[in-house]
Amino acid sequence: MKRKVLVIGSGAAGLAAATRLLELAPDRLEVKLVHQGHHFGGKASSTRTSSGRFIEHGWHMVVGFYDRLRALVRRAGVNDGDVFLSMGGQSHPFESWSQRIHTLDGSGDSVDFAGRFLSYDGLPIADRGNYGWFMGQAMLAARGTQDLTRHDDLCFDTFAIEHGMRPHLTKYSVFRFLREAYFNFPEQISAYHVLQSMRLMSTPARAESFVCKGPWSEVVWEPIARYFLALGGTVEPFTLATDWVWDGTRITGVRVARPDSAGHGEGTRPWEPAVRGLPGTERTLSGFDFVVSTIPHAVFVKMNRSEERMWRSPYFKRLLNLRSGATVSMTLTTREPVLEFPGPIFGFPAPLGIAVNMKPYWEEYRNDPKAGSVLDFVGQEAGFEGWSDSEIASATLDNFSRAYGVGDLRAAGVGEVELHRNRSDSERLLLCEPGVNQFRPGPRTPFDNLFLAGDWVRNEVDLICMEGAVASGHNAAAEVVSRL
Ligand SMILES: Cc1cc2nc3c(=O)[nH]c(=O)nc-3n(C[C@H](O)[C@H](O)[C@H](O)COP(=O)(O)OP(=O)(O)OC[C@H]3O[C@@H](n4cnc5c(N)ncnc54)[C@H](O)[C@@H]3O)c2cc1C
């Protein structure tokens, strides 16, 4: 008889776990995927506005080392080479001292790594040698055999100064980039996370950045969901897990709610029709042998919160030390072309410090004469919670327009503006702050049949990104299969 597995959450980790379970043990497992939202992909999902345009939960980049994500996409029948488009190996730090957007060229072999900072004109000449030398040392440490996790309790600024970088260099965008990219801005970032990124990106090919040619949910995650169905899996749609039901060391049920009004889906997708007419239902899912939870940390720690026995136990108590941040994202079109840089621009004032012109990459916009540029902005909300959406949008336009050579974005004719504050628990992103790893769990839990996956769960990638989420999903699936 087949053993039953419930996978909760349909982001990168949930889709990776659910498909991997059926790839590994198709004859021995029955897998059900609990899908909360309208769109597959969790934090990396996309949606469409009433005007039919698509927007992302936040701008998402694929890095050259994302082998697991690419392989999953290929197994789902999608040609990853068609879907992920290279940004040409360049990124563009905005440095406040020069008020200019500079270019950092990521091409060339790894011997050139330190050398590229000697020609980076975003640093004054007097600082380039010291910075290039430090980055060369950091790359050597990252690529060496030492266990990088020992650098987790240090922030990267301290690591850099301890390793000979002049302290004032911490103020440059080219140094602060990873803090911003991991949304640890304005918080400090663990030196381990930066060094681990450098280790994984240690060749130009593995550091190259790519973007998706269209809406992530439609282009990437739905084909994977269809592949899961083709493998024999089933989807429990529009279902929110609220509490664990447990007995001794086993999860025996999951309390779920269907908070959404039914009938919103077109009913054309294979996972939608079953839910019509069932809004507001609360019930318990039971009868499974294993559960893989890919619920994000900020949601996970709210489940069964009134149960002191659970939350006073050392395992669960440690999870309360983890923190996550709310992100903000904004997409706008301009009539005239602006920000014609191939790669991401970063280092602008908070909250929306990163900007990318997606016009050349997004198929739907590439040949649209009404959109001269399509700007995707992203950043962390911290410090701006009291600002209205229009204040944030307006400040962002001012910040960018002040940069030398950009010109007035408003004069370029701002069209549609979509701003999202990703504040809810399921949207928040784990902060990889110093010391975080001692509190991050692995796939196993005190319950014999509950396994964890998700970007916040430790894995061989270990970074808070889609590739880490996929790796953790695979690990949780392997844990289940090893117990059959
Ligand atoms: C603005 C932004 C930009 C980012 N940029 C990048 C990038 O450029 N590159 C990159 O690699 N990564 C990026 N990330 C990180 C990346 O999105 C995540 O690391 C990754 O998507 C996490 O996948 P996951 O499956 O672990 O979690 P999630 O994507 O959060 O998936 C969890 C799933 O569980 C569901 N869920 C939540 N609560 C419940 C519940 N109670 N019951 C049932 N289901 C539930 C959610 O709806 C979701 O489907 C970015 C993140 C953000 C927020």
- Nearest-10 Cα torsion for 222, 227, 230, 234: -60
pLDDT in tens, 385-410: 999 999 999 999 999 999 998 889 99
Residue 262 reports pLDDT greater than 90: no
Amino acid (1-letter code) at residue 338: V
8 lines ligand 1 (CB under 6 A): yes
DSSP SS3 for 212: strand
Contacts of 15 (CB under 8 A, 6+ apart): 33, 40, 41, 72, 221, 224, 225, 228, 473
Quick one: pLDDT at residue 271?
A: 65
Could you report the per-residue pLDDT of 170-197, keeping only the tens digit for each?
A: 999 999 988 999 999 889 999 999 999 9
Angle, vertex CA 78, rays to CA 376 and CA 269, nearest 5 = 80
Asked whether 442 and 465 are in contact (CB, 8 A), the reply is no
CA of 157 to the centre of ligand 1 (A): 27
Distance from the alpha carbon of residue 42 to the mean position of ligand 1, in angstroms: 4
Q: Of the candidates 146, 19, 4, which has an alpha carbon nearest to the alpha carbon of residue 453?
A: 19
Residues 192-202: tens digit of each pLDDT: 999 999 999 98
Q: 288 pLDDT exceeds 60?
A: yes
If you take atom 15 of ligand 1, which residue's CA is the nearest one? Answer: 465
pLDDT digits (tens, 9 = 90+) for 463-484: 999 999 999 999 999 999 999 9
Beta carbon of 58 within 6 Å of any ligand 1 atom: yes
CA of 36 to the centre of ligand 1 (A): 12
- The verdict on the CB of residue 36 being under 6 Å from ligand 1 is yes
Q: Are 138 and 163 in contact (CB under 8 A)?
A: yes
Measured from the CA of 455, which atom of ligand 1 is nearest?
26
Tens digit of each residue's pLDDT (9 = 90 or more) over 11-20: 999 999 999 9
Residue 38, pLDDT > 90, answer: no
pLDDT of residue 229: 96
What percentage of the chain has pLDDT greater than the value 70? 94
The amino acid that residue 12 corresponds to is A
Amino acid at 174: V
Tens of pLDDT, residues 333-346: 999 999 889 999 99
Helical (H) or strand (E) element with 128: helix 125-143
Q: Is 17 a pocket residue for ligand 1 (Cβ < 6 Å)?
A: no
pLDDT of 265: 52
Supply the pLDDT for residue 266.
52
- Which residue has its alpha carbon closest to ligand 1 atom 34? 9
- In the chain, the amino acid numbered 202 is S
Q: Does ligand 1 have an atom closer than 6 angstroms to the CB of 44?
A: yes
Q: What is the pTM of this model?
A: 0.96
Dihedral sign computed on CA atoms, order 121, 125, 129, 130 = negative
Residue owning the nearest CA to atom 6 of ligand 1: 60
Residues 6+ apart with CB under 8 A from 401: 407, 408, 409, 410
Is 374 a residue whose pLDDT tops 80? yes
Res. 111 pLDDT band, cuts 50 70 90 = low
Give the residue whose CA is nearest to atom 19 of ligand 1.
465
The residue count of the chain comes to: 484
**pLDDT score recorded for residue 107:** 66
